[in-house]
Structure 1
Amino acid sequence: MLDEAWQDWIRDNLKRGCTVESMVSVMIHERIDPVLAMESIQRVAEGRAANGEPGDESDACHCWSPRFALSSSNRVHIEGHAIRMVARLERPAVAVLDGVLSDEECKAFITLSRNRMTQSTVVDPADGVARTIHSRSSKSMFFERGQTPLVSRVERRLAQLMGEPVAHGEGLQVLHYQQGGEYRPHYDYFPPGEAGSTRHVTQGGQRCATLIMYLNDVEAGGGTTFPDVGFTCFPRRGMGLYFAYRDAGGLLDPLTLHGGMPVARGEKWIMTKWVRERPYG
């Protein structure tokens, strides 16, 4: 663990409003392992000394954005489309939403993507290359922003819902899990300090938030789980699961570790929207 001098340095820089990325860069230059640097920043920011003792939590990660459309209400209408808050966690910043997509929209996205699926990949943290791995057993495809009128309409809705411009969003990704398919726990953000992350944050910056939309009802299993907080959301057609993991100062919330549980019966179709801190693409 880092000594008290480094912990004081981290506290001082957090209070000054320095970003996590800038602090990790300095620490790497001082020959500190990037994983240790990130862990130390997270622990200090959560108000704990690096030895794990409890302390002042005033610098803990707060990822709820006032721009999120349901930040102060339980229901919102966007271009005539009603979306309702079902459940919310304060930390991590998670919201279960009803009515993000209509039944017709869900069916249309499945139809449009069914014959365009390829094996899903993940970003290798060592070099940033997309690779297939056994812990992610799904097929997927991406829509370009504005590719069809349906895509454009939904992207405008999601931008207003998430409180981020359309230009900050990555293309919509549709994923298909067959029986037994899963995605083991992972983070959606790019780990600071990892060589492979650099190439992905150069354009658009870090990911800030995710919205998962469920395109079908799943017979059994297939929930999205947050293992560190004991919370699981099970799929229902048209429902959305929103979670944010980057705060205004650039701190990333490790409690957003999440995974797709195995599909016990049937199949699962979902669509994902990721948003960045700056315009993307």
Structure 2
Amino acid sequence: MEKITRISNELKDWIQQTLRSGVNPESIVAAMVKKGFDQSFAYSTMLRILNKQSLETVDASQSPYMYEPIDLAKRGNIIATTDREIKVLLKMDKPFITYLDNVLSTEECDQLIHLSRNRLQPSEIIDPITGEKKSVPGRTSKGAYYHLNETSLISTIERRLAEITSHPIEHGEGLQVLNYDVGEEYKAHFDYFPANQVDTEKGGQRVATFLLYLNDVAAGGETIFPKIGLSIVPKKGTAVYFHYGNSYGQVDRMSLHSSIPVLTGEKWVATKWIRQTTISQKKKTEEVLSK
């Protein structure tokens, strides 16, 4: 079989992300070779990336990301849900990012932290080349995962997020709660998957993220969007929503983001990833049984 000697912009981005997360270059090259890349090409590609040299990609002429109208952008400065009024604090169009206040009550934040504290496990990433879950130095938080509607509290939150975004609950992955202690972080990364890791039975590509802040952080812990110079300071009950997938199957590389180290105290957040379509019932059952 002919060895692969070309690389896409998307894979280049994910290799850079994986390097930032702490994976050593040799492991990435080995994974590339295992996936069918020519060994010499894999090594030369890695060297060019490490040395920040230009790298020719197969989709170098790919059209720029096409921004489409987002329903949430049309909702005004006060968003009314069944049980709450959400206030828009900040809004950007390209990439689409909005910072929202009063998404969760103080009691809901406290309940979610209490519910999650005893089921935290070391956070992992999905390897962009192998598709396997793994722990890496660049993601040092701990996480707790929930399936859809696992508790009445989670059902209430999921219903509210669906009303805010106009994305059905079934298009979302189960809620994930993350805890960061002093010094813990998540280096710059994308939430969407590389093309070879998109699973239609799991709802297809991720297109948006809803990140909810469950506590105030005394120092550090900001969510940073480095390509646009935006920094979001955690505030209990607020949330940031960002959209990075369109109907053409493109993903927005301007959505690169990180969680910088906590300097004082700890940080609690809840993440809701939204997919293109509904996750299949078979996959839902598999995910529930695996937790």
TM-score, structure 1 as length reference: 0.78
Q: Could you list the per-position Cα deviations for residues 221-261 of structure 1 after superposition, in whole angstroms to 9, with x for gaps in the alignment?
A: 10000001110101000000000000121111000000001
Q: Which residue of 2 aligns with 1:61?
A: 66
Deviation at 1:171, TM superposition (A): 0.3
2:38 is matched with none
Task: Within 5 Å, give how 1:24-173 maps onto structure 2.
Answer: 33-36=6-9, 41=59, 44-46=62-64, 60-66=65-71, 68=72, 70-173=73-176
Q: How far does residue 33 in structure 1 lie from its aligned partner after superposition? A: 2.7
Superposition pairs of residues 231-270 of structure 1, within 5 angstroms: 231-270=230-269
Give how far 1:144 is off.
Answer: 1.1
Is the 1:63–1:245 Cα contact (8 Å) retained in structure 2?
Answer: no
Find the aligned partners of 1:101 and 1:43 in 2 and give their Cα distance: 43
1:273 aligns with 2:288: no
CA distance in 2, matches of 1:33, 1:85: 44
Amino acid at match of 1:276: R
- How far is the alpha carbon of 1:61 from its aligned partner? 2.5
| Native 8 Å contact 1:210 1:274 kept in 2 | yes
Q: How far, CA to CA, are the matches of 2:184 and 2:5 in structure 1? A: 38
- 1:43 Cα deviation from its structure 2 partner: 5.7
Secondary structure of 1:45's aligned partner? coil
Compute the displacement of 1:205 (Å).
0.3
Match of 2:204 in 1: 205
Aligned to 1:230: 229
User: Once the 2 structures are TM-superposed, how far is the Cα of residue 131 of structure 1 from its aligned partner?
Assistant: 0.3
C-alpha change, 1:237 and 1:185, in structure 2 (3 Å) is same
1:89-128 residue CA offsets vs partner (Å, 9 max, x unmatched): 1111100000111110000000000000000000011221
Q: CA deviation at 1:71?
A: 2.3
Q: Residue 101 of structure 1 contacts residue 239 of structure 1 at CA under 8 Å; is this kept in 2?
A: yes
Offset of residue 163 of structure 1: 1.3
TM-fit CA distance, 1:160: 1.2
Report the number of matched residues: 234
Unpaired runs of 5+ in structure 1?
A: 1-28, 47-59
CA distance in 2, matches of 1:166, 1:32: 41
Amino acid at match of 1:62: Y
CA distance in 2, matches of 1:158, 1:32: 43
What SS does the corresponding residue of 2:202 show, helix, strand or coil? coil
State the shift of 1:169 in Å. Answer: 0.6
DSSP 3-state at the match of 2:104: coil
Amino acid at match of 2:202: Q
SS class of match (1:104): helix
SS at the partner of 2:138? coil
Partner of 1:125, secondary structure, is coil
AA matched with 2:120: M
- What is the CA deviation profile of residues 258-281 of structure 1, one whole-angstrom value per residue up to 9, with x for unaligned ones? 000110111000000001001113
Alpha-carbon spacing, 1:36–1:212, altered in 2? closer, same or farther (3 Å) = closer
Question: Partners in 1 of 2:10 and 2:141 — Cα distance?
Answer: 33
Q: Give the aligned partner of residue 57 of structure 1.
A: none
Residues 155-164 or 232-241, more deviating: 155-164
Tell me, yes or no, if the aligned pair for 2:81 and 2:163 is still in contact at 8 Å.
Answer: yes
Cα 1:82/1:260, change in 2 over 3 Å: same
1:180 to 183, 189, 192: 183
How far the C-alpha of 1:183 sits from its partner, in A, is 0.2
C-alpha distance in structure 1 between counterparts of 2:86 and 2:128, whole Å: 36
Q: Structure 1 residues 41, 90: closer, same or farther in 2, change over 3 A? A: farther
CA distance in 1, matches of 2:90, 2:61: 27
